[in-house]
Structure 1
Amino acid sequence: MTFTILCAIFVFQFLSAEGRNDEYLTCGSVLKLLNVDYNVRLHSHEVKYGTGSGQQSVTATTRQEDVNSHWLIKGTPKKPCPRGHPLKCGDVIRVQHVSTGKNLHSHHFPAPLSDSNQEVSAYGSNGEGDSGDYWMVICDGEYWERNEEVMLKHVDTDVYLSVSGHKYGSPIGGQLEVVGSTRMSSVHWKAAEGIYVHTSDLNSQLNSHSHVHSEL
């Protein structure tokens, strides 16, 4: 499935993000998450932290076209989220890195460059990890709207997904540190480029037929 998603991403990588005709973000969509404060995209790769947990690192990059910045939005094992189902503010989700199959994760390790913050990593295998992969969608209104800024709150530790502003050196030079933060700064994210799965009529909210809309 990962290969299929990456092929679709490659095919549509030159398409404009204009012309969006659906209002809400939905489960099953594959997208890039843009940090509004730093204008960088959430990113991961097969590079492990040299400190802390030693798990796969999560960073933020200025490169718009990098396929290692694609993430799959999904529910939890106890509360699955049907493909095409609109996400509500307050929903708990998992965010899976498409290229490596690991989930966005956090835990009580200090961040590698700013130890007052908490480490954010990619964890698990084939999309399965533990409760450290659970993030709550914090937004205004009832649903996560596609053009809306949201925050992602880590369920286990109550920190927010954030960018510290610190830059890494080699081998990931220039990429920014992504952390879990208790401070309400640099914690705002928006859905950017991606392959969006949505119901055929989100204005009716729960139409059971879905299709795919690609915007890369």
Structure 2
Amino acid sequence: MSVRVNPFLLLFRCIIFSCFSVSGLLGTSELSYVTCGSVIKLLNTKHNVRLHSHEVKYGSGSGQQSVTGVTEADDSNSYWRIRGKSDIVCQRGNPVKCGETIRLTHINTGRNLHSHYFTSPLSGNQEVSAFGEDGEGDNLDNWTVVCSGTYWERNNPVRFKHTATEVLLSITGEQYGRPINGQREVHGMQYSNQYNSWKAMEGIFMKPMEVSRAGVDVHSEL
């Protein structure tokens, strides 16, 4: 029997067990930014839950893989890889700029954070799902990083605006029952408010490249 191997999960394991940190390449200011290629968890600062996905599909709307918020900090289904939008390469280790368009690829399933004009099942806002295969989906996987300043700073909350429909990635607190009891609904909202504020948390933050050598900064709970 052939076994399907998720290339993003393999990359994640490679980074943890095989890569090394190159000392002397960075100053403290460079370490404070979120960078392309990093694998991170995102915390909704209002409800204190992390952006999550899993092999559970919506029973209504698009029927695609569901995206939720979970309270557990150590759940491996909450890791997302930062990539460039469909037609642009996001060079590994480059700081992500405020206003830059990215994709967030779910590590364990290889699907991208996605939205479209379907209604979310609990709140009636816009559905957010995970879509694609092995990291490749369509132009509805693109999100713009909304923040002040020049770059996405690790210590500061940001917002994610869906590039095609202009909704903001949000959680207002609605909770699912079985089979994902207690997980929060993630959806898109039109207006900027406390429900669409996100902060980078645990993960592996790729350092800028120098002379073809790559380093990583591993941040707790891996």
Question: Quick check: TM above 0.5?
Answer: yes
CA contact (8 A) 1:28 1:82 kept: yes
Q: Percentage identity across aligned positions?
A: 52
User: What residue number does 2:95 align with?
Assistant: 86
User: What residue number does 1:163 align with?
Assistant: 171
Gaps spanning 5+ residues in structure 1: where? 12-19, 202-206
Aligned partners of 2:212 and 2:174: how far apart in 1?
44
Q: How many residues align?
A: 202
- Answer yes or no: is 1:134 the counterpart of 2:129: no
User: What residue number does 1:199 align with?
Assistant: 208
More strand by share: 1
Relative to structure 1, the CA distance from residue 208 to residue 136 in structure 2 (aligned partners, 3 Å threshold; closer, same or farther) is farther
Aligned partners of 1:190 and 1:26: how far apart in 2?
14
User: What residue number does 2:127 align with?
Assistant: 119
User: What residue number does 1:7 align with?
Assistant: 13
TM-score, with structure 2 as normaliser: 0.86
User: What residue number does 2:217 align with?
Assistant: 213
1:130-161 Cα deviation digits (max 9, x unpaired): 11100000000011011111000000001000
Alignment of 1:11-26 (within 5 A): 21=28, 22-26=31-35
Segments of 4+ in structure 1 off by > 4 A?
Answer: 8-11
User: What residue number does 1:143 align with?
Assistant: 151
Secondary structure, counterpart of 2:122 in structure 1:
coil
Secondary structure, counterpart of 1:43 in structure 2:
strand
Aligned partners of 2:143 and 2:86: how far apart in 1?
13
CA contact (8 A) 1:29 1:196 kept: yes
Gaps spanning 5+ residues in structure 2: where? 1-6, 18-26
The CA RMSD over aligned residues, in Å, is 1.9
Aligned partners of 1:198 and 1:9: how far apart in 2?
12
TM-score, with structure 1 as normaliser: 0.88
CA contact (8 A) 1:9 1:194 kept: no
